[in-house]
Amino acid sequence: MSDSASGSADKSVQVKLVLLGEAAVGKSSVVLRFVSNEFQANKEPTIGAAFLTQKCRLEDRILRYEIWDTAGQERFHSLAPMYYRNAQAAVVVYDVTKASSLEKAKSWVKELQRQANPNIVIALAGNKIDLVQPSASSSSSTSSPESEDEADDATATPDEAPPTGTEPESLRQVPREEAQAYATEAGLLFFETSAKTGEGVVEIFTEIAKKIPIEHILAATRGNGARSASGNPRAEGSQQSNVNLNEDPNKSKDACNC
Amino acid sequence: MEESQFDVVVIGTGLLESITASALSKAGYKVAHIDQNSYYGAEEATLSLDELAQWIDKQQSSDTQNSRFKHAKRSDTVPKQSRQYAVCLQPSIIPSIGPMISSLVASGVAKYSGFRLLDCLTIYNKTGSIANVPSSKEDIFKSKEISLLDKRRLMRFLTFASGEFEGKQELEGKEDLPFPEFLSTGFSLNENICSVISYALAFCLSPDDATLPALKRLRHYLRSSGRYGPSPFLIGHYGGTGDIAQGFCRASAVSGGVYILGRDITGIAPISSDPNGFNYAITLSDFPDTISTRLVITSPSNSPLPVGVTPRQLSRTSAQVSNIHCMARGILILDRPLASPPQEPLSDFAETAGDVDENQTSPPLAIDTGILVFPPGSVQGGSSKHPVTVLVTGEGSLSTPKGKWIVYIGCPLSEDLEDSTTAEDVLKPYVDAILSLSTNPSSGPIDPLFSVSYLEYSPQELTNTTNESTYIIVPPPAIASLADICDELTVDAEATFKAAIQVLRQLSPRENDDDEYPPFWPPLPVEEEDNEW
């Protein structure tokens, strides 16, 4: 907790990661699994967290993910440009039991390609695979599949609980091959995940970490955006002028000072 | 409550409304925040160049007698990389101490945005050159150019201005005196120094600005310096004001606020004696549900008033100058930088000629992010009554691509203009002066890549109002200096928040309501801190 927030004090590199995807696909649950290794069935719609952070070790480097949730602002297409800005990574989540959620994911990928940093690393995650696996493989779970009904978002779309007792694979509406083919074509990392069992979740973040151009980010952190490595004699001074309001010693009780 | 039922509907995503929405969401009220525009920030929005061009075109097509924005003009061709620019309709700098900074930190919104210190604060003089404005007593002390006598007078004044001057003998009976007059008669300061203090340190908008409020502003700025660095002022990355508004909207959403942008309001109908206590039914275009709410809070620009509604009009908590009702604004995009002055502060204001400046041989540095003040009468053909304040933001404030600069020009006006006079006419002498301040004067004046200009009028308060209404109109935005605007909007947002809480408590009392108002910003919840490690 004593690290400087700037991320330059040690070898840790700060990476902004944004979450996107249709309501109730389990965006927050995937993050909660990654960050706290927890799963909450019937989770409330996303309220309360501005962003979560988690370190990820990669060889000699430590990535510090700053994970932004949509806070529901995607619901009426009202995500602020601030959300995409400077994101070095994005996880676009869909629900393997809901074909329309992949279509929505594709439109988010387009939006990212339009709005976000051109070097952004995008991962596509087909969540809720525990629902389409034979129950033996999700042995850690004690609850019936109804508990998978993660009310992850306030969106109106009613998310019917999958019927119990049916053959799990029959719930699958998005074949793995189809999503994989799309991801390959669009240049995305691809995973199938279960926030409930944890399957595939950590892998998303480690694979993203491997693909992030760390040297580029380090240079950017040092020079206030690699783009300011200019002949401008003031460039050096310019980036020293950046301030972190939360690092004000007089205000330490309000500050995050993480 | 049902999904389409709310305690409060806030209309408009300007900074004031966004701060208010955020505070109400954090206080536990169910808030829907609506804007007919598809972008955040309303009249304080931060826009790309394409969006700015569209905004100008929209103002042109709706320019009528009572428009808030008149005579909008722009260059025909929008430069490339439009999306890499963040141009703000309400440029601002933020004092390091004050309501805006406190709210940014206490609400957690500071974490969403970036900030930097202003590089330089400069002033233009009649000879066509610019000089740094000393921002501290140390600067003045070090200056070789100010005479010893003037230094002593200036120090005496600054000691007075940074202290508890209320009730001091120097001020007695002079609170309403025009500030420059107070400076020259009370402290025997010379005309140039009076001008620097009035317009570049206290950011007066006219020589008629009253002494007491000017002194309070100046004290505020003097105390702000040193908190984050030598400059008292911060500037928000990515276009400042509009970006900060977005941040408050996100904070509101994180606390459960619902955001609906890009939909026209097709109707606001008062509901009488609804069993559930809802007072308005709001319909939006392209939106299936009718939204019910107990309380409406709206920006003044959302008109007309719904039939059968007598609103409550909130007044500004403070207004810098009352006789200024219009601002001529210009925005230039440059691909060559403006030169910053040599390091010696105030050198051009010296009464005695100084030594040869050793900096003269090295090429002038470029201003990345800075302020240039034109005092009244400093430019031929310009205003003899009002100062013009110029803000330059470049790559360092992350608002432009590399090698490009945004120049904001604001000229307050108190005289009525001829109908045919445009902002472009008013600003022309200043634009010419600015464009000649290149780092490489031998290649001639800078040719802007893009320019826009418009007149911004301050909307009037409504008069037919009642304090008992559940339809609240926020205070109309004042014409304020760019150092003051964010703090003013924050103070007015807090007043709006309190007014809303008062009404909401009457409409739907909650168990935990007590006599106290809830704090504007409750302590940040633990989960907003860094989570696991």
pLDDT in tens, B383-415: 999 999 999 999 999 999 999 999 999 999 988
**Do B144 and B205 share a domain, yes or no?**
yes
Nearest to A47 among B105, B111, B255 (CB): B255
Interface check for A255 against chain B (CB to CB < 8 A): the answer is yes
One domain for residues B332 and B423: yes
Question: Is position B98 within any domain?
Answer: no
Judge if pTM exceeds 0.90: no
Determine the residue among B109, B530, B533 to mutate to test chain A binding: the one whose Cβ has the most chain A Cβ atoms within 10 Å. B530
Within a domain: B216: yes
**pLDDT the model gives residue B509:** 82
Higher pLDDT, B351 or B377: B377
Domain boundaries, chain A: 13-133+171-221
Q: Which of B200, B224, B248 is the last residue of a domain?
A: B224
Residues of B in contact with A242 (CB under 8 A): 114-117
How far apart are the C-alpha atoms of B428 and A71, rounded to whole Å?
45
CB contact under 8 A, B113 and A82: yes
What mean pLDDT do residues B46-57 have?
Answer: 97
User: Using CB atoms and an 8 Å cut-off, which of residues 250-279 of chain B contact chain A?
Assistant: 250-251, 253-256, 258-263
The residue assigned the tokens 């205000």 is: A251
Chain A contact present for B366, CB below 8 A: yes
Nearest chain B CA: its distance from A69 CA (Å): 9
Q: Which pLDDT score, from 0 to 100, does residue B343 have?
A: 63
A77: closest CA of chain B, how far (Å): 7
State phi, psi for B450 to the nearest 5 degrees: -160, 145
Residue contact B3–A248, C-beta within 8 A: no
Structure tokens belonging to residue A164: 């119990």
Q: B243 and B175, same structural domain? A: no
Q: Judge whether B15 is closer than 8 Å to chain A, CB to CB.
A: no
In degrees and rounded to multiples of 5, residue B296 shows phi and psi of: -115, 130
Asked if residues B371 and B398 have their Cβ atoms less than 8 Å apart, the reply is no
Residues in chain B: 533
pLDDT given for residue A46 in this prediction: 55
How far is B119 from B403, CA to CA, in rounded Å?
Answer: 17
pLDDT one-digit tens code per residue, A1-43: 443 344 444 567 889 999 999 888 988 889 888 888 777 776 6
Among B431, B457, B483, the domain boundary falls at B457
Mean pLDDT (chain B, rounded) = 89
Same domain, B302 and B370: no
The token pair at B316 is 């500004």
Q: List the one residue out of B144, B119, B198, B117 whose CA is nearest residue B345.
A: B144
Is residue B72 a part of any domain in this protein? yes
Domain that holds residue B479: 5-48+238-319+462-507
Quote the minimal CA–CA distance from B356 to chain A in Å: 23
Which chain A positions have a beta carbon within 8 Å of B525's beta carbon? Answer: 48
Q: What is the pLDDT of residues B126-176, one digit of tens each?
A: 888 898 898 777 788 887 778 899 999 999 999 999 999 999 999 999 999
What is the distance between the alpha carbons of residues B347 and B131, in angstroms, rounded to a whole number?
7
> Are B250 and A50 in contact (CB < 8 Å)?
yes
Please indicate, yes or no, whether residues B332 and B449 belong to a single structural domain of this protein: yes
Residues B41 and B144 in one domain: no
Out of B105, B287, B403, name the one closest to residue A246 (CB).
B105
Chain B interface test: which of A74, A205, A234, A251 (most B C-beta within 10 Å): A234
- In the predicted structure, residue A168 carries a pLDDT above the cut 90: no
pLDDT for B292 beyond 60: yes
Amino acid at B360: Q
**Does the domain made of A13-133+171-221 have the CATH classification 3.40.190.10?**
no
Residue A120, helix vs strand vs coil: coil
Domain-located, residue B63: yes
Confidence band, pLDDT 50/70/90 cuts, at residue B453: very high
Mean pLDDT of B196-225: 94
Which residues between 12 and 71 in chain A have a beta carbon less than 8 angstroms from any beta carbon of chain B?
A: 35-36, 47-55, 69, 71
What average pLDDT does range B513-533 have in this prediction?
A: 67
Q: Do B250 and A47 touch (CB under 8 A)?
A: no
Work out whether strand B388-393 and strand B405-413 pair parallel, antiparallel, or are unpaired.
antiparallel
> Which residues in chain A touch residue B254, judged by CB atoms under 8 angstroms apart?
47-50, 69, 71
**Contact (CB, 8 A) for B239 and B46:** yes
CATH number of the CATH domain containing B292:
3.50.50.60
Q: Which of residues 100-129 of B touch A (CB under 8 A)?
A: 101, 104-106, 108, 110-119
Q: With beta carbons under 8 A apart, name residues in chain B contacting A239.
A: 396
Q: Where does the pLDDT of residue B322 fall: very low under 50, low under 70, confident under 90, or very high at 90 and above?
A: low
Decide: residue B131, CB within 10 A, 0-12 exposed, 13-18 middle, 19+ buried.
Answer: buried
In a domain, B174, yes or no: yes
Residue B302 lies in a domain: yes
Same domain, B216 and B149: yes
Shared domain check, B340 and B307:
no
SS3 B4: coil
Mean pLDDT, chain A, whole residue set? 74
Give the number of domains in chain B. 3
For residue A151, the chain B residues in CB contact (below 8 A) are none
Together in a domain, B307 and B333: no
Question: Nearest residue on chain A to B239, judged by CA atoms?
Answer: A82
Please give, rounded to a whole number of angstroms, the shortest distance from the CA of A182 to a CA of chain B: 28
Q: Distance, in angstroms, between B497 CA and closest chain A CA?
A: 20
Residue A197 has a pLDDT of 93
Sequence-distant (≥ 6) Cβ neighbours of residue B250 within 8 angstroms: A50, A71, A73, A80, A82, A83, B109, B112
**Residue burial A94-117, b: 16+ Cβ < 10 Å; e: rest:** bbbbbeebbebbbebbebbeeebe
Residue A258 has pLDDT above 50, yes or no: no
- Whether A80 sits inside 8 A of B249 (CB atoms) is yes
The pLDDT, as a whole number, for residue A222 is: 57
| pLDDT above 90 coverage of chain A, percent | 32
Do B118 and B152 have their domain in common? Answer: no
Query: Cβ contact (<8 Å) for B250 and A80?
Result: yes
Note the maximum CA span of chain A.
Answer: 70
What's the pLDDT score for residue A155? 36
Tell me if B180 is assigned to some domain.
yes
CB of A229 within 8 Å of a chain B CB? The answer is: no
Cross-chain Cβ contact A73/B250 below 8 Å: yes
Q: pLDDT grade, residue B443 (50/70/90)?
A: confident
Tell me the CATH number at B189.
Answer: 1.10.405.10
B354, pLDDT greater than 60: no
- Scanning B432-491 for CB atoms below 8 A from A yields none
* Residue B64, domain CATH: 3.30.519
pLDDT greater than 80 at residue B359: no
pLDDT band with cut points at 50, 70 and 90 for residue B56? very high
CA distance, residue A51 to nearest chain B CA (Å):
7
Note whether B332 and B394 are same-domain residues.
Answer: yes
Among B436, B457, B478, where does a domain finish? Answer: B457
Q: Which residue type, as a one-letter code, is found at position A121? A: V
Statement: residue B528 has pLDDT above 50: no
- CA proximity to A141, closest of A150, A152, A131: A131
Question: What pLDDT is attached to residue A55?
Answer: 85
| Residue A55 with chain B: CB contacts under 8 Å | 533
pLDDT band with cut points at 50, 70 and 90 for residue A146: very low
Residues B336, B429: one domain?
Answer: yes
Which helix (H) or strand (E) segment is B253 a member of? helix B241-254
CB–CB contacts below 8 A, A to B: 151
Asked whether residue B106 is assigned to any structural domain, the reply reads no
User: Is pLDDT of A45 > 80?
Assistant: no
